[in-house]
Structure 1
Amino acid sequence: MPVIRHVHDLPPIARGGAVSIGNFDGVHRGHAQLIEQLRRRATEVGGPAVVFTFDPHPARLLRPEACPSPLTWTERKAELLADLGIDWVVAYPTDMGLLSLGPREFFDRVIVEVLAARAIVEGPNFFFGKNRAGNVETLAEFADSEGMTLDIVEPIEIDGAMISSSRVRDLVGLGRVGQAREWLTAPYRIRGLVTHGAGRGTDLGFPTANLDGVDTLLPAHGVYAGAAWLGNRSWPAALNLGPNPTFGDLATKVEVHLIGTDEQLYGQIMEVDFLERLRDTRAFDSAESLTKQLKADVAVANQVATDYLLSLGRTVGRT
């Protein structure tokens, strides 16, 4: 799905539908429930289902010291939203001009003038306008004045816990990627540029691709089962996130061992799904004991990741 970055690029067919405004970070199951209602409303009004989001997160400008690391980059977010049936994603380049608009100004300029919305769907904790002065009661008043419908979709719970982006962020930060996978609409994913490492993995028989420039939240240090993506190609992978204490290397690294290939992928952007956490990162008393553990890790990671890729109908290593 192409992401609309500027409102003047919004085509006429993207206007006059049902709209939801928010960050949609991670695109979790609560978001999916909201989008289901958004699609219903879009069908009723005979227009598109549109998500209006922000790039960057407004907190990065207003409270940069407190802004959390994102769970998704904009293109990935749009991809996940498209999978849920969204027709258009507007990722507005957040600036102080937008953030200085009062609630009524924001409503008139964005929802009425730009999007020509006929229906709005939001969660109960929606705030808008300067200093977050507008809430769902304010929005209901404005929507009624313009003849728009407004639906408020309640959050969903799993095992008594309310799903939210902040709670998903906590799970990922703790390395609980398996539970995060249950809360998200797709496994947690990062991306980075494939670069050369120290070459120790190759010496041990487990060559790795080092990922640099990761721009989203990193899970806790540990060894994980994962799936690696390069364009439309995919492989099962064993992932090591953290230091290499066996060799006295304490720098945090993201190392990806692609199972079943020895292709050289340097200089390319790789995306990696975190499927399950296998163990902590720890020091071994010898290279031999480390190699033995790596063999066990790779065997488990291969089974977990291959099952996952086959569930998607993927042929490992191919498009």
Structure 2
Amino acid sequence: MTMLKTLVRAAAAAPLAALAFFAVPPASAQDWPTKPVHLIVPFSPGGVTDIAARVVGQKLSEMWGQQVVVENRPGAGGTIGVDAAVRSAPDGTTLLMATNGEITINPALYKNLTHDPQKDLVPIAMVTNTPLLWAANANAPYGSLVEFIAAAKAKPGDIAYSSPGAGTMNHLTAEWFAMITGTKLLHVPYKGGAPAAAAIAGGEVPVSVLAVSSALPHVKSGKVKVLGMTTQERTKLAPDWPSAREAGIADFDASIWVGLFAPKGTPAGIVAKVAKDLKAAIADPAVVARLNTAGAEAAGLDGEAFVARIRADTARYAQIIKAAGIEIN
């Protein structure tokens, strides 16, 4: 554990000149936008990224007097959509809504990317944050994170957990959890969050790392119980669920965030205007309510703070991928 923390800190401290946020020339955005803005989502409709794009995009359309057109470009773990955004003209007419997976995980996971998301994109702001949690089948013999950890230590490698797929944020969160708790778990990848949740509801596997939105229907049905959050704080979406910190797990805070990005070279004036208007949009109570219904919390982290979060996440997940030997063929 000490070695992992040292590696992460060392990597996080390295210069990240790649983040183009600091290299964009100033420009006036007084008349922008003068035509529709295309918002690329690197996943199919219906997921947390798509919902964030449509909810926020609708509000920005009202504010700008121009249509925000959501374009779904799914495939290859989000790399196809990111590639399309990177290759777009840097004039503010194309933006990207992406998760920490595409921005901070994929560079360490995929060896043949045709782009570098941290060199080729300008980070504007974090839009939403979706908490993750450990959930278990209702008949599992443990009812809390403390009991789950004890069971996993008693039988190393015996307890299986489902995830939406290899290399996903849920997968890396489980591996990170295993590293810091000194446990060994068996990974069983599924094709998406819904099948992974259905697997524990049906008893195919005893536990899983799930997003709140994936867990809720099964919790309400009584087939799944929540062991605890993977975050240091309880979530406002379900305040009765205990945090990782309450289970005595420090230095562990994992969630799926969705951020807004622009192609490298987009004028700083436009980036600043989008950031300002986005902050106003996600402060709107109606927008917040719609995001909460989808299992996401409005974020609003921007500027240096967002860049710092990207830097820290990139270092952390690169080391987890290496330490866990995760590979995508």
Q: In which range does the TM-score fall when normalised by the shorter chain?
A: under 0.3
> Relative contact order (alpha carbons < 8 A, sep ≥ 6): 1 or 2 greater?
2
Structure number with larger C-alpha Rg = 1
Using the size of structure 1 for normalisation, the TM-score is 0.28
Flag the structure with higher strand content.
Answer: 1
